[in-house]
Amino acid sequence: MSKRLNLREFQQGLIDRIQSTDMSGARVSTLGVQIAGQNWLVEMGDIAEVLPLPPLTPVPFTKPWFRGVANVRGNLYSVIDMAAYEHSGAASGDTNNRVLLVAGRYAVNAALLVDCVLGLRDARSWRQSEGIDKQTEYHDEFDTSWRKLDVHGLVEQAEFMQIGN
């Protein structure tokens, strides 16, 4: 009988195969996403899974950036609209939107709602400069600006953990 893989194992295997074909031999460990029209880089180790936007159950009396609760294979995740959290609008809720499940090492069942996923990015050779709020800004070969999403810093913020109005 063949071995059955769950979705997470399949995705991790796919990521490993893609990264093993990287011509430099080093692993690409960042995922490009778009939040409110801006390009962001997310460390692959900070996310457990990338999914289409699941059905949401709204929660009353919460902040506008808290979109609701999603059931992902029997586990409840709080879905945070990153555009609204950054005070830059709101995700459209269309078919391009994705949720990034925060890695289990952070011990929070949170899912970050982004506009779309742009694929794996190798920012090691990109030009760096000091951007908004003294945060490092990356510029790719087309001089497109990218910022790094600090998931660890995000889940440590008191505001992130306080969803109630």
Render pLDDT for 81-111 as a digit per residue (tens, 0 to 9).
Answer: 999 999 999 999 899 999 999 999 999 999 9
Contact 157, 149 (CB under 8 A): no
- Predicted model pTM: 0.81
The answer as to whether 130 is a domain residue is no
What is the average per-residue pLDDT within 36-54? 95
Closest by alpha carbon to 91, among 62, 112, 114? 114
Q: What is the CA radius of gyration of the chain?
A: 17
Domain extent, residue 30, equals 7-120+153-161
- pLDDT of 1 reads 44
Please state the domain count of the chain.
1
The secondary structure of residue 7, as a DSSP letter, is H
The answer as to whether 129 is a domain residue is no
The answer as to whether 31 is a domain residue is yes
- Which distant-in-sequence residues (6+ apart) come within 8 Å of 71 by Cβ? 54, 55, 57, 77
Tell me the torsion sign for CA atoms 119, 125, 131, 136: positive
Please provide the distance, in angstroms rounded to a whole number, between the alpha carbons at the two ends of the chain. 53
The answer as to whether 143 is a domain residue is no
Contact 98, 53 (CB under 8 A): yes
Contact 68, 59 (CB under 8 A): yes
The alpha carbon of residue 105 and the mean position of all alpha carbons in its chain are separated, in whole angstroms, by 15
The answer as to whether 131 is a domain residue is no
Residue 112: give its domain's CATH number: 2.40.50.180
Contact 153, 159 (CB under 8 A): no
The answer as to whether 107 is a domain residue is yes
The answer as to whether 114 is a domain residue is yes
Q: What is the DSSP string of 85-96?
A: HTTS-----STT
Query: 1-39 pLDDT, tens per residue?
Result: 456 657 777 777 777 776 665 555 556 689 999 999 999
The answer as to whether 45 is a domain residue is yes
